Amino acid sequence: MIINPIMSEPRFHFDRSIELSKYMEVVWICGWMLHSHYKFSDYLTDKHQIRVIGKGSIHRKWRGIWDKLIFTCNTAQYIKQENPDVILVYSSMFAFLIPIIAPHHKYILQLFTTNVSPSKLRNIFWDAWEKIIMLPYSKFFVQTPELIEMYRIKADACHIVTWGMKPISSKVKEFRSIELLYIGTLNFRRVHETVSGLKLFMQKHPDASVQYSIIGKGNAEHVRLLNDEIRKNSLEDIVKYYGYLPNDEIVPFFEKCNIGVSYVPITPYYTDVIVTKTVEYLLSGMVVVATDTNKNREAINDQNGVLIPDNPQGFADGLEKVYSRLTAYDSSLIMEGAKGWNVEFQIRTSIVPILKSISSK
């Protein structure tokens, strides 16, 4: 059983659990779908079931907190009725209540990155709240060894799991021009700096064939920063911002584009986190221009991309390096080198053995 109150992006979760359902029965307990483009019913199979406990749309602010509390209590009652073999709980505001209300089950808490707000005070508060959430749990899933130290939990209580990703495109890319793609949130990522960097590159190479597609949503301030930067640099014909697009509408971009932009700030709360977009680009055979975080450094090499500082000049210099050897890249080799991130491989070789081991104890 997997518990997650709000389903954000189905491809980050259901793609993995549907693969897992080839080996064992999976039942999700969910509250709400974050985006109206998707329906829970589209992801049902005989061995992949979804029980939706939330009603209507989740409210915002204080009523939203109340919705999550009611969801958590109802989920605990459902667990008492069903008695699943293993319960994987996604860390959320009231996840600490589930083992308290429904004790004597084999629980695993799935931990994600520590809080990534630029506000130090907010980070301190939510990281402290995470410690409270963790108290009733004795087993944890984490993405990287560094997160064990950041959360200050015993290594023998943790399983380092990489769920993997499903390739969005299997088309072999050609490298005759620069077709850039950024996908992901705009919030606190400073994506507008890549537009500034692109302008610096274009000033040096005015005849280069370049297109840059940006997909993702953000709050009003970050969207404004991006659009202002596009207009200020007169790049409206080159840089296109599409906002949020559902999964089926991003596929053509992964088919067309040959260079992925993995631009996250190089900060303590990002540097040891696996950047999902980096993996998706590589699995789709794209060269990656990535900021020089610890985890990007493990994935990027001379054959599949470049590492850059997190500033406009760094982005421009990264494009310069890619442009200088553009025709030397091999999309098929990039895909082959990324196979270890494939969801089928990770589920079969890592997740299934771990879950079976926990279930048998």
Choose the most confident range, by mean pLDDT, from 52-61, 110-119, 272-281, 341-350.
341-350
pLDDT tens-digit readout, 12-43: 899 999 999 999 999 999 999 988 889 999 99
Q: What are phi and psi of 159, to 5 degrees?
A: -120, 125
Tokens (6 digits) for 105: 């089950």
If asked whether residues 351 and 249 sit together in one domain, one would say: no
3-state secondary structure of 2: strand
Is 56 or 131 the better-scoring residue by pLDDT?
A: 131
Whole-number Å distance between alpha carbons of 262 and 286? 11
Is 119 or 102 the better-scoring residue by pLDDT?
A: 102
* pTM, rounded to two decimals: 0.91
Based on the structure, what is the number of domains in the chain? 2
If asked whether residues 15 and 136 sit together in one domain, one would say: yes
Beta carbons of 10 and 248 less than 8 angstroms apart: no
If asked whether residues 66 and 186 sit together in one domain, one would say: no
**What counts of helices (H) and strands (E) characterise the chain?**
14, 13
In a domain, 41, yes or no: yes
Find the mean pLDDT for residues 242-261.
96
* CATH code for the domain of 210: 3.40.50.2000
3-state secondary structure of 282: helix
* pLDDT confidence bin for 118, thresholds 50/70/90: low
Tokens (6 digits) for 255: 């088919």
* pLDDT confidence bin for 44, thresholds 50/70/90: very high
The alpha-carbon radius of gyration of the chain (Å, integer) is: 21
Question: Strand (E) positions, 53-198?
Answer: 87-90, 107-110, 140-142, 158-160, 178-183
Ramachandran area for residue 145 (φ above 0: left; ψ -120 to 50: alpha; else beta): alpha
Q: What are phi and psi of 137, to 5 degrees?
A: -100, 150
Contacts with 232 (C-beta within 8 Å, 6 or more apart), sequence order: none
Give the Cα-Cα-Cα angle 150, 151, 157 (nearest 5 degrees).
120
If asked whether residues 104 and 184 sit together in one domain, one would say: no
If asked whether residues 335 and 348 sit together in one domain, one would say: no
If asked whether residues 146 and 22 sit together in one domain, one would say: yes
pLDDT tens-digit readout, 86-110: 999 999 999 999 999 999 999 999 9
3-state secondary structure of 333: helix
Is 81 or 112 the better-scoring residue by pLDDT?
A: 81
Q: What are phi and psi of 354, to 5 degrees?
A: -65, -50
The mean pLDDT value of the chain amounts to: 93
If asked whether residues 141 and 202 sit together in one domain, one would say: no
Domain that holds residue 275: 178-340
In a domain, 170, yes or no: no
- What's the pLDDT score for residue 114? 60
If asked whether residues 329 and 350 sit together in one domain, one would say: no
Whole-number Å distance between alpha carbons of 237 and 16? 37
If asked whether residues 136 and 187 sit together in one domain, one would say: no
3-state secondary structure of 241: strand
If asked whether residues 336 and 347 sit together in one domain, one would say: no
If asked whether residues 183 and 319 sit together in one domain, one would say: yes
